[in-house]
Amino acid sequence: MSTQNETSDLLFSILCVVDGHEQKVKYLKDWACPIEWTCRVLNRLGLAEQDPQSQFGWKATSRLVNHVATQKPPVMHEAWYEAKEVDEAILMLLFELAEAGMDPTPGELEQGGWATNVLWRLGLIKPCAAGGYMPTRLMIELIVARGHELQEQEMLKHELEEAE
């Protein structure tokens, strides 16, 4: 079983792989907005959750810990996938949901930026021949599982409200 600090450190390590930074405090300050947005994206997939005790406010969920432990490294090969409109729509919706309530400065959250690199390294998206990315089957499964979890939470909340 992971401790809170270990899951927070794991999430930080995943974020750092993208840029190779090691100075934690400066890194968190300099990249606060992209880190927040990326964590919000991971939260929408059930891979990160808010943690006020963490140095940057997020920690990895057990789902992310298990994924990292069992995942193979992403394959570096020439992109040949053809993204469909629905693939692009899924990613856009995920990014828009994560951005809700944030007030980034222009250019701070570029579509091809940080979150995309983290998702690719986690094997959740793959590059397309015409540019851009498409979700992998695993990402679709995570979205569906997260949707079911949120639906169950909402039903439980409703039942508790009715019981009062």
Tell me: the pLDDT tens digits for 140-158? 999 999 888 888 988 888 8
**Average pLDDT over the chain, rounded to an integer:** 78
- In 3D, which of 18, 15, 34 has the Cα closest to residue 105? 34
Selected residue with higher pLDDT from 30 and 62: 62
Question: What does the pLDDT read at residue 105?
Answer: 59
Task: Label residue 77 by pLDDT band (50, 70, 90).
Answer: low
| Number of domains the chain is built from | 1
Q: pTM of the entire structure?
A: 0.74
User: Which domain range does residue 130 map to?
Assistant: 4-163
Question: What does the pLDDT read at residue 159?
Answer: 87
